Structures are given as structure tokens and as C-alpha cells.
Structure 1
Amino acid sequence: MNTTPASPPSELEPVPDWLDEIEGERALAWVARRNAATRAAYDNTPGFAELRADIQAILDAPDRIPRAGQAVGALYNFWTDAAHPRGLWRRTTWEAYRAGATAGSEQTDWEELLDLDALGAAEDTAWVWHGAAVLRTGPRAGRRALITLSAGGADTDVTREFDLESRHFVPTDPDGGAGFHRESSKGFLAWADDAGEAVLLADDFGPGSLSPAGYPRQVRRLRRGQSPQEGEVLLTAAADDDGAWAYRDPWGRTWLLTHPDFYTEELWLLPDGAPTLPAADAERCLAGAQAVVAPGTLHVDVPASAAVTPAWDLLLIELREDWETTAGCIYPAGSLLAAPIDAFLDGSRELTVLFTPTPTTSLSGFTITAHHLVLTLLDDCVTTLEVLTPGGPDGTGPWRRHRPDLGALLGATTATGGEPAAAPEDPTLLRPGRALVDVSASAVDPREGDRLWLTVSSFTRPTVLAVGELDAAGELGAVEVLREAPARFDASGIVVTQHVAVSDDGTRVPYFQIGRPARDDAGASRPAPTLLYGYGGFEIPLGIGYLPVTGRAWLERGGTYVVANIRGGGEYGPAWHRAGLKRHRHRVYEDFAAVARALVERGVTTPAQLAVRGGSNGGLLVGVMLTRYPQLVGAVVCEVPLLDMRRYHRLLAGASWEAEYGNPDDPEQWEFIREFSPFHLLQPGRSYPPALLVTSTRDDRVHPAHARTMAYRMLELGQDVTYFENSEGGHGRAATNAQRAYMQALEYEFAWRRLAR
């Protein structure tokens, strides 16, 4: 590793443990002092209020595209704006949605269903929307919904049954309708039958019912009018599993699953009418250490690391590792396979290969329509679509493959958004001249037909939303553009290119670069303030998308923005992710440092003009850059981060991430984990780049103690640290657009001030 050696044991006094008390009096007093210092440094300074207002205007713009989802023929949308900062849940018809778009505004006739601002005022709770599930079948179809809300934006939330006709929550008492309700937890409540007379519930059922990561271990099925204690038991996860989950698929089947760790699952099918466990067995099941499933379930025997999705009468199996079946067939990691459900559960291992990865292409995801499977592929980090059509609903017969013609949509967004072409002699360019455009597809309703929601965008061209329908051959016909978002920043002259850097072990690491070429008075190129963004974890890829806020806050000012596709992510499938797990984690940070060096070597920027930015696992990434590569970085923007890796697994949901980082309680594993624990890499007497740390008091996924203790230690060491902790927002760090605008303005302004000096 070409890095700074890890620090010896610190001679400093321990950071006070009261910082761990999320809402402790001393902790909040410390937060208030740090927030006040940050506000004093920014709130009334030239340009900050204007930037904040401009960002909020973008976030609240009335001509944004109102994204919608279909249920029982209606289109549902959740909308926030300046008048409704907490949001409105509403619905409309297809006709009204089509007719609603006019130049400069959104004129759709919406039927308002629930006003979260009014609800919060009535209940004295700062509710944040976590989604709704409209009942789609039976006599109550389109008339009832399960609505999930969070107090302050935390992962912990509640679910209540809502009457769409009366616009009120259904009372839980039998005389008032015996509505379904879930108390506050990290669980779920989901419809369990066609009639809306039963639900699947995972909740905090008392002592022993939560996993070490804080997720429910038990799933019960409740009939209308039953209390949670009366529900039949379907599944209890093992005591050290991450948790238990269940869902009902679009074709009416019930599936149960546990996650022994973040990347493994055990899956069962619960046939209709199959025997379950009585409510009286609930506590006994929770008292045991092993998983307990209802006796009528059928186990889906695939590798534990595989992800399984039902589609029609098939199982779609995504492999994270190579799989050698009992028949002696070997399928590589990253493949997508199909098998008839009934035959597979009966022991057949006749599998159809739907996708096999290549060195440059991976499966990013898929969507299922009534007759087709639409794959989203990443080809050197750029999306493309492929339509697969089975010969029959059970997958028998040959599958047809088709690349749909997206010419009409892509015409709305040119290869690089109309930007000048990059110099072709640049040897770092990756596949120069191809379209750097993102295309996404999702089924409108897999039970209703073959219509797709389609979106197209680039880094500099706003999103286009369309709907199209696949014909029997898988061709995309009758594409109708529904909305075109307006431009939010001046993109003239901005160049978008894709490059590769070379990491320490020789691996080629792609990155996107967006910005206007900087010139001096003589016209020669010169370095510019550059913001480098990365994530590098949990098999999550970073791709292309319109940058309205970044464009206004960074690109318009002359800055360059870079997105790094480092290992640990999912850009090249499971292998790209697994290359950065646990003891190989150093590769993630070496990749990011390689991109930073490449930007300097190419003259794009200088170390003093380079800021790095990341959140959550990306906050850990930039924390490592701060402490291991301070010579490469001029500023660090660190959002809702993990930073103390010695005890991350004991803080909130951290126990569920040991499969990603390792177990620091194991001395052998701690030896490599401490090499990417920024808190433990801080050394007295060293100089570190200026850092902004932001978090949320209501973040119950990554404990705010990570950011608090890091800031406390850095201040103790005399470093340049800016700290801001929002009072709500959860892991998203903000609950309203006003809060988002403030925090984003702070982050961009901090970076600009530190780099443009």
C-alpha cells in the first residue's frame, strides 16, 4: 500500500463517552456550540444566502417532473414544495397526467389524499414520508393503503392503514374498522391476501425479538381484528442473523426470508393454506438461537449468496459467487439464471442462462412486465437495455433477446449533452465518442401489461420521462414523452468525458469528469477547483445522471466535478465488489487515491484544489483520504459517515455490515480494519486537510457518534474542522427541502472556499 503508516496507540485522553448519547444533554449542548460556530462562519457571508436560496428553488421548483406509480389504474405521487415542506400524497388519472404538463409549470389536476404538514401539526410530530402500499386486489382495491411514516426521518418508522375514500386512517378498535397498525420499529407491515383482510408483520415484539443490528427477527400474519400477540408465526430468524422479512409477490405467492448477513439469504415459499405456527409458539421461537420456519414452507435451495426474485412461474437467480450445481454445471458470479418454480422446488436443476457477465459488462438490475424481462446492463459504467422474452410462462422454450431501439429517446440527450469533444489524443480516455447517457426502465404494472416507464438523462441534460409499450417481439413502440425537465444551470461549454486511472495493483479504474476547461489569460489550460465524489461499497454502482444542484453550486462557478467508479461498488458486478471486501478493503482507497493522482497528473487540478466528498460508506472513504492521503487532498466533505471502525458493529445497524468490513473483535481482523479506521489513524503533530463533517441526530442507521467523536478529536488536535448536525433527517441528513438546501449549500460553499483561495 502506497500510504501513510497507521498511527501507534494514541497518547491522547479518550474521547468522552457522553458524545455517544444521541440526545443526551451534554452531547446536544456540544452539538449546539459546533452548529452555532458553523452558522456564524457561513450564514451571513456574501453569496451563501443566495446559493442556499437558489438550491432550495431548484428543489422546490413547480416544474419538476412529478414521478408517479400506478395502482388500480390511478397514478400516485408524493410531492414536496415550499408550501408543503413535509409533502402531499396525491393521485390522478392517466388522462390528467398526460394533459398536465405545460411550459414552465405543472398543471396536473391532482386529488389530495394526505397532507403530512397538517398531520404533523395535528399530532405534534415531524412526520417524514416512507411510502405507501395501495391494495391492488379484492373489494377494497384502490380504497385502502398501508402508509409508512418516520418521526424525523429515522429508519425506525410506523405503518398505519389508510382509507382512501374518507381520507383518514382506519381506527384500530374493532368498532371503528379494526385498522392495521405497526408500532415504531425497523420492521414492516405488508398486505398478505387479495381481500386486504390479513397482513404480514415484522415488529419489535419485546425482549429477544430484535437482531444485533436492530431489525425484527420474527414475521407474523395477522387477520383483521387480531392484535400482534394473536398473529400466527411464519418465520423466526436465528439470534445472530440480521433479521427476518416476508413479502407477497405480484402473482399472489408469499415468500419468507432471513439474512444471516448482509450478502446471504435463506428463502422459503409459503404455499396458500400451508400450516404455520400458532401465536402461543412465538416466545418459544424467539428464545431459541436457531431459525424456525412454519412447517408448511418450501426451501429454495440456491447458494446463500444468491438473490432470488419470482417472475411469473419462474425463479430468477442472480449469482454473487460461482455456482456448481449437483448436475456438475458451473455458472459464474454475476450471471442471471431462470428456473420453473415448481420443477426447481421438486429438485430439478435445469437452469436457463439469461445473462453472463463479460470483463466490461455487468447486470445492474431488471424489471418484469406481463410478458417480458427487461435487463439494465452496465457497459463500462454506462447503461443499456436488453429485452428478454420467454417461450412460455414457465420458461420452457427458447428465450428471445432484443435490444430495443431507443433512438427517439436518446435524441433528446446527445452523446455528451452537446458538449465539445475531448482531445482524442488523451490516452486516459475510455471509449471516446460513445454516448454518455443514462437510460432506465421500470414496469408500469407487471400484472397489467407491457408498458414501461422510461427515463433518459446525462450529466448536463435534464431528465426526459416517457412511457412506452413493448410488443410481442420485445420492440419498444408507441413511446410517449410525458415530461421534460427544464435546465437548472448553464451547461454551455461543459465537457463530459470518461477516463481511466491505474490503481496500485495495476487495475484500471474508470471515472467521469464534468466541467468547463479552465484557461488562463493566454488561453493555456490551467488547473481548476475539483470535487471528487465516490462511494466504493455494498455493490452499489455510481452512474450518470443530471446534476441540477451540483451544476448551480459548483460547475457554474468554474469547478470540475468527478465521479469515481472504484472497487467495492457494483460497476462491474459482484467481482468488482468482492475485490474490496474486508482484508482487501485497502484496494477501495487505493483506487480513489489513484483517481486523485490522475487528475493532478493530467493537469485537471492540484492537490490544494482537490476536495473529496462522500456519504455513509463514502464518508468512511473520504475519512481514509483525510488520514492516509492528506498530501493528495485540499479539503474533505464527509457526510453521515462511519469513522470509528473499532466499534462500528456495536452502534445501531452496524452489526449488519460485518460481511463488508470484518469483525473488529477478532484480533486478526482488527489488524486490517484499523488500517481503514480514520478515527484511529489520526496522529498528534500531523497536519490534515480542512474537513467538514455533517450528520443527523435522528440517524439511527450510522450513529452520529462517528462524526461527533472524529470532530472532537480533530479539534483537540488543533485541526481545521467544521461540524454541522441536523436535528432530523435520519441517514438522509435532511427531512425537508429547506434543510437539504442549507446542508448542500454549506457543503459546496465549504469546498469552494477551501479550494479557491
Structure 2
Amino acid sequence: MRYLHILLHGLLLPLLFQLTACTTKNTQVQKETMKKETPHMADPYLWLEEVEGAQALAFAKAESTRTLAHFEKDPQFAKIKADLTKIALAEDKLPGITLINGEVYNFWQDKKHVRGIWRRTSVSEFKKIKPKWETILDLDQLAKDENENWVWGWQNCLPPENRLCLLTLSRGGKDASVVREFDLTTKAFVKDGFTLPEAKSDISWIDKDTVFVGTDFGPGSLTDSGYPMISKIWKRGQPLKEAKEVFKGGPQDMSASSFVYTTENKKYRFHFRVISFYENEIWYEDEQGLRTHLPLPSSAQMSGVFNDSFLFLLREDLKTKTQTIPVGSLVALPVSQLKNKEKALDSLEVLFTPSAKRFLNSVEVSKSAIYLNLLDNIQGKIARITHTEKGWLLEDLKMGNQGVARVYSADPWDDNYLVAYTDFLTPSSIYQGVSAHKGATWDLLKQAPERFKSKDLIVEQRHAKSADGTMIPYFIVHKKNLVLNGKNPTLLYGYGGFESPIQPFYLDSIGKLWLERGGVYVAANLRGGGEFGPTWHRSVMRENRPKVYEDFIAIGEDLIQHKITSATHLGIQGRSNGGLLTGATFVKRPDLFNAVLCEVPLLDMARYHKLLAGASWMEEYGNPDDSKMNDVLMSYSPYQNVKAQVKYPEVLFMTSTKDDRVHPGHARKMVARMKEQGHKIYYYENTEGGHAGNANIQQKILWNTLEYTYLWQKLSGKN
């Protein structure tokens, strides 16, 4: 399931321009280009889209240096950094783990291992207070030996032995990665093993000597979104250029790929054509090499294989001759029915259907059960599906209270799996379960220690009425004795896109650096997320996008109306699509906020589809080249709507030079335009980090220190 998750969801979480010698001539060409592309406005800042251009880098460095110098002078900076360092480098922090062959694997970073080490131990040893770990790969040492800035990616091991793994390492945290074959027994890279140069690649094991591979094979091999368009079969020892093409999409597709799904008894080969972010066509290839197009709607999301049936989450209603299956349902398509082609849909078996506030978020499959990670009024619940003599059996499994329980690290060739539980005030816990067990019992492996005082804190769930009357839920965390005087420093966080829900999570650094000091934290459950299933998301796609910003504004107004805070003490934060959210919102309602954290953001919606992976998001936002959609996009695009005569909050923009998913040009150009208009802003661009913003633990500490110093400086009311 790990590879399938990466294939279907990893592109969310995913053009270099050369600076010419003659700046004056180059600027004129850029202006003429913009007149053709966006008639409403010429763009004098296209040179800031040149990621590694000397002029652009000088601009980013100068602004970042100024911003860093300003906040380092703040008396709170050193104390905030010390508190964050203590949390980030704590030896007793809960390791994020996976199970491989019954052993615990973890990627770990600390003061000594800034880039990190990949390590393993036994389950029994992991349960100890100070377990003994075996280092498999030291990324700091590897980076030193190879003179590379390696950042850990992910591993794809060959089941069921899981000895050979394909590791991805990126330079500076980019989405584009190097792939190298690694042997878990020898703890070394395989000599003359499978290796791919830096690219946005797909690679999947067929057997120990064969893989499916999609990568940058040269001109004509990538989609307009920058992802693989061609997949090939590649044999061990064979030059990559001699690999045989097996599947091909088109340049306007998001990507095309092939992969193998391995269960205890069988290997299933699939070929994917990802048409857009929410549309795909899938072919199944049987043992004889016969390919069958799976007759599900293109919006259906493949979720695994179980009991020789393909599992799909429906993202729209499906009507067959025998039944009407509602959106949000999980269905099983028996492989035996594929011979009936389109009529196979009449044999779909419904495993789960949503209710008013209960929706399917994700699916994990083990050898003997299917686990559903559910959103139940935004809380995280678990259900288990097994196949019995009487058919499919769905059971709810009880864990936790008002937080998020979820199954992860489950594999279809093994019965072991892991469960995580957390909520805003409860440190995260990891449990081990076995699918064959009856009831809902798990073995607690480890719980994180408390990082802040939570006894005097309370969590509430409230609702605000958006402009169209829709009630928008949000969580609010604050001290029990909160005084409703409108003076409480309040941070409102939001995302609102790509069907990605905002759920409760342990507020470790937020608790220590914000809540303990009297701050209020608010998590918004905006439309566009997945909190209430696909319909909640689809209701604000493309032409309805402005409703998301109305939702966010409504929550801000609700907080002020109930005297929790006021505009002077209210700040907002968002990353990526959330960066667009904060950008569009502060431009629309500058009177409502006094602090804006706008991080790794989209901001120029006239050109987003021309920058890096932007073309892959047109299903979400719409195509700027379509006149009707362009009108909508230009009604809220921050870069096009910011004005000189309007007073805005002193925004802190943050991004990364190495972000090859959301182009750093978005933030750079917004900063340049606002400075030209006379607005006071702050800008910090980390030279590494990719879309995460930071490449190692020290960079993360500095990034977070800047965030909290800025928030307290702006929202405490002392400045």
C-alpha cells in the first residue's frame, strides 16, 4: 500500500529559466510575453521566476537577510529558539516508525544526526525506554562522503522478503529525487544496482531483477506537469535507454505509470493514466499479458486489492443496472468479473457507505482484513472489514476519544500493522495490532511525553456561518479561564483544498510556544478539504473557489464577534494551497488580521499552470487560459489584486529555493510587488528544503523560530 499511496497522493504534497545577460532587453521580452498571456496586466517581475538566476537569488538573499536580522533582534527570539530546540532535539520524542518483516524501522534526526539516520530494532526492544537501534544508513556520513546535500525521501522494498529496497534521496529536499537500490542485509547500496538520476520518477518492483520505471527519458517523455508520461520495463544490468516501453500517456495528462501490487498469493500488474488530479484510467494486466480496462468512472480512486477484488473509493454517485451507489462509498470489483467488461459493474460489492457526518478518509489493507480510516464529525475512527462465509463484515473498532485514530503501515502480505492515536492535548501513541485478533485490542508500543502543560487547556468545536449560509466547523484550543475581552493573541490555521482534511493533532510546539503563553489556536475545517467527503471538496472547486476564502473570513469574524480576539490580535497561517488561502484572504479583508504567515504559497493565479507542477492543479483551480475561469481566478489572485492605496498587515512570506512543486517565484514576485507599492513586509527564503521549506532539523528550528517570533511581535499588542 505504501507505493500505491505515493502514486495516488504523493503528487499533491508535486522549469528552470536562464537569466540573460542583457537585463533591459530581457525585461522587455517578458513584458511582451505577459501582454499576450494575461492582457489585463504586464508583469515586470518575471525575472524572479528564474529559480537559480543570479538576480533572483540576490533579491531573495537580501530580503531574507533583512528579515532574519530584524527578528533576531527581538528579545523573545533566543528563548523561542531554545524552547523549539529542546523539543526538536529531545531524545525521548516519539519516533515515526513502520514495520518491515516484523521489525521496527525509523528515520531519525537529532543534534548529532542533522540530516538523519535510517535505523531498525525489534518490536520488544522498541517498547523499552531507551531501545538499542541498529543504524542501516547514515545520511550525514553519506552526504559528507559524496559531497552531496542529501535529504531523505522514502523506501520501496520488494515483498515479501523486503531485502532489496529502492531508496529516494533528493538534493536539498526537492521533489525530483535520485533512486538507488539498497540491500537491508548488507546495509549497503547494491553495486551496479538499479539507479536513476535526479528526476520526478516512478519505480515499482516486478521481481528482484525487473522493475517498472517512469522517469525523464529525454525530450517527449514528460507531461506538461513535469511528471513521467512513459513507463518501461527495466531489467537488471540493462542500460536504461534499452528499457522496453510498456505504457504511455499524453502530454496533457498529469502522469502515466505502471506498478505491481503484491499480496500473499499473487502479484497484480496495473497501468495508470492520471488524466488530472481527480481523474484516472486504469488497466489491469493478467498473468498472460492481457490488459483489461477497469470500467469504473475515471473519478473513482483505487484503494488496494483484497480477496482477489479491486477496491475503489467512489468520488461521485454510480448507477448500475442493479443499484445506485452513493458518492464516498467503498466498493469491491471481483477480478473474476472483469471478463464481463462494462457489465462487471453490476457485480460491484458495496463494503462501506457514508452517512451525514461519517466519511471514508483512507484505506489500509493487511493479509486478512481491510481497515478504514474514517472521518466521524472530523474525529478519526477505525473500522475493519473482513470477508466471511456470509460475505463482507464491517465492524467499528474503538480507540481514543475526541481525536484521531488511524491504521497505517499495513501490508497485504502480512497480518501485523500499526495504529496511531493523537488529539490536540494528548501526546501521540503507537500501537501494534494483528488482523486475526477479535475485538479491538492493540499492544501499546510507545507514547510520546508531554511537551506542554495541558491541564488548564480546553478544546471546543464551534461553527461559523459563511456568506452563503453554510455552517463551517472549526476547533479552538485555549485556556479554561480565557477572558472574553477581544485581546487574546489568536492564530487561525487553514488549508481548504485537494480533499485534504484538517484533523486534531498533538500541539507539541504550538502548545509550548503559543498556548502556554496565553495564545489561542484555531484549526479551520473549510470547504475544499475532505472533512465531509468528496462533496464537501467538490462544492468549491474551480468557479466556486472564492467560497473557501469566505469560509475563512467567516471564522475570523466569528472569533471577533465572540470577543475571543480582535483584528489587532488575530493572525492567520497557511502553507502551499493554504498559502494561497492566506494570501487571497488578507488581500480581500486586510482589516481583519494583524499577522499573516504565508508559506510556500501559490499567489500568481494567472501563471500558476505554467510553473513547475502547476498544470496538474487545473482540475482544482481551473484553467487561466479559459476566459470564464480567468475572470474567477483574477477576482481573488493575490498577486493581481494587491493595491498600493490599501493598508495591509505586515505579512511574513516564507518559501524555499529548492521547492520544485510550488514555484518560489510566487512568493518572490508578491514581495517585490508589495515593496514597490510601499507596503512593509517580511520575506524569508531558505536555500534548501523543497516544498517542506527546510531540509534538516536545524533549518526547521530556525523556520519555526521566525514564525513564533513574528506572531508574538504582531499579536501580543505590545508593538
Shared fold (TM-score, shorter chain, > 0.5): yes
Q: Are 1:353 and 2:357 counterparts?
A: no
Cα deviation, residue 142, structure 1: 4.2
- Residue 190 (str. 1) matches residue 204 (str. 2): yes
Query: C-alpha displacement at 1:443, in angstroms?
Result: 4.9
Q: How does 1:525-536 map to 2 (within 5 A)?
A: 526-536=486-496
Does residue 388 in structure 1 map to residue 385 in structure 2? Answer: yes
* 1:436 maps onto 2:402 in alignment: yes
Q: Which residue of 2 aligns with 1:463?
A: 428
Rounded Cα–Cα distance in structure 1 between residues aligned with 2:377 and 2:709: 32
1:371 and 2:368 matched? yes
Match of 2:253 among 241, 262, 278: 241
Secondary structure of the residue that 1:740 maps to in structure 2? helix
Residue type of the alignment partner of 1:341: V
Look up the SS of the partner of 2:237 in the other structure: coil
1:476 Cα deviation after fit: 1.9
Number of equivalenced pairs:
673
Cα deviation code 1:117-153 (max 9, x no counterpart): 111111111100001123234xxx3432211100000
* Aligned mates of 1:298, 1:13 — CA distance in 2: 49
Map of 1:107-256 to 2, 5 A cutoff? 107-137=130-160, 141-172=161-192, 179-193=193-207, 196-251=208-263, 252-256=267-271
3-state DSSP of counterpart to 2:78: helix
Shift of 1:12: 9.1
1:656-691 alpha-carbon deviations (Å, 9 max, x no partner): 000000010111110111112000111121111110
1:539 aligns with 2:499: yes
1:82 and 2:97 aligned: no
Residue 241 of structure 1 aligns to a residue in which SS? coil
Q: Is the 8 A contact 1:156 1:184 kept in 2?
A: yes
What is the DSSP-based 3-state SS (H/G/I as helix, E as strand, rest coil) of the residue aligned with 1:558?
coil
Q: How many Å apart are 1:442 and its aligned residue?
A: 2.4
**Partners in 1 of 2:485 and 2:253 — Cα distance?**
55
Pairwise mapping of residues 542-557 of structure 1 onto structure 2 (< 5 A)? 542-557=502-517
In 2: Cα distance, 1:239 partner to 1:264 partner: 15
Instruction: Tell me the amino acid that sits aligned with residue 438 of structure 1.
Output: V
User: Which of residues 553, 565, 568 is equivalent to 1:608?
Assistant: 568
Find the residue that maps to 2:391 and give its secondary structure: coil
CA contact (8 A) 1:466 1:482 kept: yes
Q: In structure 1, how many angstroms separate the alpha carbons of the residues matched to 2:68 and 2:658?
A: 20
- 1:140-178 CA-to-partner distances (Å, cap 9, x unmatched) read x34322111000000000101113333322232xxxxxx
Look up the SS of the partner of 1:685 in the other structure.
Answer: coil
| 1:432-472 residue CA offsets vs partner (Å, 9 max, x unmatched) | xxx422111125433122x3312221101111211123446
**Distance (whole Å) between structure 1 residues aligned to residue 622 and residue 61 of structure 2:** 34
State the 1:518 CA deviation: 5.8
AA aligned opposite 2:471? R
* Preserved CA contact (<8 Å) 2:659 2:693: yes
In 2, the alpha carbon distance for the partners of 1:166 and 1:630 equals 58
Q: Give 1:246 shift.
A: 2.2
Q: How far apart are residue 532 of structure 1 and its match?
A: 0.2
User: In the aligned structure 1, how far is the partner of 2:588 from the partner of 2:481?
Assistant: 29
8 Å CA contact retained: 1:517, 1:525: no
Shift of 1:313: 0.6
Aligned partner of 1:516 in structure 2 is 479
In the aligned structure 1, how far is the partner of 2:90 from the partner of 2:370? 35
Match of residue 400 from structure 1: 393
Alignment map for 1:697-716 (pairs within 5 Å): 697-716=657-676
Corresponding letter in the other structure for 1:402? E
The residue that corresponds to 1:671 in the other structure is: 631
1:694 corresponds to: 654
**1:750, distance to aligned residue in structure 2 (A):** 0.8
Cα gap change, 1:751 to 1:405, in 2 (>3 Å): closer
State whether residues 98 and 418 of structure 2, in contact with CA within 8 Å, keep that contact through their aligned partners in structure 1.
no
Deviations 1:477-522 (A, max 9, x none): 3x221111111112231111001111111111100000115656xx
Contact 1:464–1:481 (Cα < 8 Å) also in 2: yes
State whether structure 2 residue 662 is matched by structure 1 residue 662.
Answer: no
Q: Aligned pair in 2 of structure 1 residues 10, 246: CA closer, same or farther (>3 Å)?
A: closer
Report matched runs for 1:742-753 at 5 Å. Answer: 742-753=702-713
Tell me, yes or no, if the aligned pair for 1:72 and 1:136 is still in contact at 8 Å. no
1:725, 1:439 → 2: CA distance?
A: 35
Q: Per-residue displacement from partner, 1:47-92 (whole Å, max 9, x unpaired)?
A: 2122112212212211112232222333221111110011101122
SS in 1 for 2:649: coil
Instruction: Give the letter aligned to residue 379 of structure 1.
Output: D
SS at 2:580 equivalent? helix
Secondary structure at the counterpart of residue 527 of structure 1: coil
Aligned-pair CA distance for 1:11 = 11
Kindly state the Cα deviation for residue 345 of structure 1 after the two structures are TM-superposed: 4.5
Give the superposition deviation at 1:551: 1.0
The 2-side partners of 1:272 and 1:735 are apart by 43
Q: Distance in 2 between matches of 1:401 and 1:17?
A: 55
Which moves more between the two structures, 506-515 or 462-471? 462-471
Q: Structure 1 residue 13: deviation in Å?
A: 7.5
Secondary structure in structure 2 of the residue aligned to 1:192: strand
TM-score by length of 1: 0.86
Query: Does the Cα contact within 8 Å between 2:495 and 2:578 map onto a contact in 1?
Result: yes
Structure 1 unaligned segments of length 5 or more: list them: 1-8, 173-178, 275-295, 411-434
Check conservation: 1:519, 1:526, Cα contact below 8 A.
no
What is the DSSP-based 3-state SS (H/G/I as helix, E as strand, rest coil) of the residue aligned with 2:211?
A: strand
Aligned partner of 1:704: which letter? P
| Equivalent-residue separation in structure 2 for 1:44 and 1:12 (angstroms) | 39
* Superposed CA offset, 1:676-724 (max 9, x none): 2000111121111110000000000000000000011111111120000
Q: Which residue of 1 aligns with 2:27?
A: none
The residue identity in structure 2 corresponding to 1:475 is G
- Taking a change above 3 Å as real, the CA distance of residues 480 and 29 of structure 1, as seen in their structure-2 partners, is same
Corresponding position of 2:92: 63
Determine the structure 2 residue equivalent to 1:476.
440
SS in 2 for 1:390: strand
Q: Which amino acid is 2:351 matched to? A: L
Whole-Å separation in 1 of the counterparts to 2:240 and 2:124 = 42
Please give the alpha-carbon distance, in whole angstroms, between the structure 2 residues aligned to 1:371 and 1:47. Answer: 54
TM-score (norm 2): 0.91
Residues 364/188 of structure 1: CA separation in 2 closer, same or farther (3 Å cut): same
Corresponding residue for residue 338 of structure 1? 332
What secondary structure sits across from 1:491 in the alignment? coil
RMSD: 1.8
CA contact (8 A) 1:159 1:188 kept: no
CA shift digits 1:553-585 (9 cap, x unpaired):
211111100000010010000000001100000
Contact 1:90/1:111 (CA < 8 Å) preserved in 2? yes
> How far apart in 2 are the matches of 1:42 and 1:730?
23
Q: Distance in 2 between matches of 1:504 and 1:513?
A: 21
Distance apart, 1:374 and its partner CA:
1.6
Q: Deviations over 1:404-434 (max 9, x none)?
A: 243xxx3xxxxxxxxxxxxxxxxxxxxxxxx
- Cα gap change, 1:10 to 1:563, in 2 (>3 Å): farther
CA positional deviation for 1:542: 0.4
Counterpart in 2 of 1:448? 414
1:316 counterpart letter in structure 2: L
Deviation per CA, 1:515-553: give whole Å up to 9, x if none.
Answer: 115656xxx755301000000000000001101111122
Moved more, 366-375 or 498-507: 366-375
User: Secondary structure of 1:346's partner?
Assistant: helix
Distance 2:49 2:250 in 1: 28
Q: Is the 8 A contact 2:458 2:480 kept in 1?
A: yes
Summarize deviations over 1:249-282 as a string: whole Å, max 9, x none: 12221111011111100111122341xxxxxxxx
Corresponding position: 1:307 with 2:301 = yes
Q: Does the CA-based 8 Å contact 1:518-1:527 persist in structure 2?
A: no
For 1:380 and 1:508, the matched residues in 2 are separated by 13
Contact kept in structure 2, 1:542 and 1:563, CA below 8 Å = yes
